[in-house]
Amino acid sequence: MKDHFKALPFFVFLLCCPLLIFAQNIKPYISARVDTSKTEVKAIYQLYTNYLNSRPDSSYANPYWNKNDYYPALLENQIPIDRSASLMFGTYFKGFMKYYEPLILQIDSLNNNLYQVKTIFKSNKAEADSTGTSISYITNLYVQRDENGNFKLENTINERTRNWETIHYKFITYIIHPNCKFNEKEAENAIKFCEEIAKKFGLQIKPFKYYILPNVDELGRIYNFDYWTYYIGGQTNLPLREIFTTYSNTNYPHELVHMMFPLQENPPPNIISEGLATWLGGPKYGVSFEQALKETSKTLKTYENPTFEAIVNNKIRNKFDSNLQYVTGAILCKMAFEKKGKEAIWTLYHSDKKDLDKNIENIFGKPINEIHEDILTYILKE
């Protein structure tokens, strides 16, 4: 299960001349349904083509995009403007385009000043997934004219959620899909949980949004996808301070932990961020840390000589979840906390890939190999 956005490295670009950049080289194919003899369709086709050629993986005020989508996080170079970008290609758009061909399926008017561009990204054989499927994504971006009458692309989230019920509950703003129900008792538990975490680690609580969704496809839709291959239970987008759940639940401890800990310029390795969320909030909705630990202990016993590295590098893992890695990280956090309290947790959280092992050695006062062994022994004895 993929739980939160991968952080993207910083991009360097020239603020003063965003248009000089690249000669156009990506030209999406079009289906028979796209009638470019119509002026509006042709203009939107050109807009989308320009956008594909304007480094969609970079975080900057893209000139082909609606200014209302220029979030502060975007301008601080944290995330690309298109919500589907992080999930499709991260920071490697050029690499992605080697394997995926864009074909525009539709350019339609949805109402007066709202249009959609629907595009299928078909993977070539080299990137076909384990079932041999060549369709990986169908994106759906919206287009509206701006105040000067120029077409601009935009994320679909605002239009799609415009009429959804919104409830402000203390520091959480719930945005609720029409097929879901807000549960006040759960909301109260969510608030209490956040307050406990804040107290335990000396955190400052900042307001955030919480989208309640009934299933994965509905999450895809507000991320600009009509089809995607992801299965996501919940996700936290720290730069935008948003939590998404696909289980219709009002309280989601694992994601709340991600939200409570601050955004880092260099985020901690997954084993730490997911370990922390799993130790304090379980690996996913409806599964406690204790349950996951028992399951992981059972699973780990089926491997001959499992190692910490193999777990961290996903060389051994469950097919449909990341619990082996999450629980291993959770035990590391738990043992560190028992050894040196919240200071140890902050040391881990402020670590990056390079200094993590050294910092762990400092917390436990012994060589990293021994600590790794202690962690696996802890799990196996359950």
- Report the residue number whose CB is nearest to Zn ion: 3
Which lies closer to Zn ion via its Cβ, residue 153 or residue 277? 277
| Residue 1 near residue 321, CB atoms below 8 Å | yes
The least CB distance from residue 36 to Zn ion, in Å, is 43
Ramachandran region of residue 307, left (φ > 0), alpha (ψ -120 to 50) or beta? beta
Which lies closer to Zn ion via its Cβ, residue 3 or residue 57? 3
Which lies closer to Zn ion via its Cβ, residue 104 or residue 348? 348
The least CB distance from residue 159 to Zn ion, in Å, is 28
Count of residues that interact with Zn ion, criterion CB under 5 A: 3
Amino acid symbol at 221: R
**Neighbour count for residue 242 (Cβ, 10 Å):** 20
- Of the listed pieces 2-10, 169-177, 304-312, 367-375, which binds Zn ion according to CB under 5 A? 2-10
Which lies closer to Zn ion via its Cβ, residue 81 or residue 277? 277
Q: Spell out the residues 6+ positions from residue 162 whose beta carbon is closer than 8 angstroms to its own.
A: none
The least CB distance from residue 281 to Zn ion, in Å, is 9
Q: Which residues make beta-bridge pairs with 144?
A: 152
The least CB distance from residue 57 to Zn ion, in Å, is 23
The least CB distance from residue 251 to Zn ion, in Å, is 15
Place of tokens 């409570």: 260
The least CB distance from residue 332 to Zn ion, in Å, is 15
* Strand 234-237 to 208-212 pairing: unpaired
Which lies closer to Zn ion via its Cβ, residue 91 or residue 273? 273
Phi–psi pair at 380, nearest 5 degrees: -70, -25
Phi–psi pair at 176, nearest 5 degrees: -115, 120
Binding mask 259-288 for Zn ion (x = CB under 5 A): ---------------x--x-----------
The least CB distance from residue 280 to Zn ion, in Å, is 11
| CA separation for the pair 84, 137 (Å, rounded) | 10
Binding mask 86-105 for Zn ion (x = CB under 5 A): --------------------
| CA separation for the pair 284, 269 (Å, rounded) | 19
3 makes contact with Zn ion (CB under 5 A): yes
| CA separation for the pair 134, 123 (Å, rounded) | 5
22-35 core/surface letters (b: 16 or more CB in 10 A; e: else) = eeeebebebeeebe
The least CB distance from residue 213 to Zn ion, in Å, is 17
**Neighbour count for residue 168 (Cβ, 10 Å):** 9
Which lies closer to Zn ion via its Cβ, residue 61 or residue 263? 263
Which lies closer to Zn ion via its Cβ, residue 256 or residue 277? 277
The least CB distance from residue 274 to Zn ion, in Å, is 5
Residue closest to 299 by CA, chosen among 282, 322, 333: 322
Residue closest to 173 by CA, chosen among 241, 236, 106: 241
- Of the listed pieces 1-9, 39-47, 219-227, 357-365, which binds Zn ion according to CB under 5 A? 1-9
| CA separation for the pair 172, 170 (Å, rounded) | 6
Which lies closer to Zn ion via its Cβ, residue 188 or residue 321? 321
Place of tokens 């997911």: 274
Q: Where do the H-state alpha helices sit in 103-153?
A: none
Which lies closer to Zn ion via its Cβ, residue 277 or residue 335? 277
Residues that bind Zn ion (CB under 5 A): 3, 274, 277
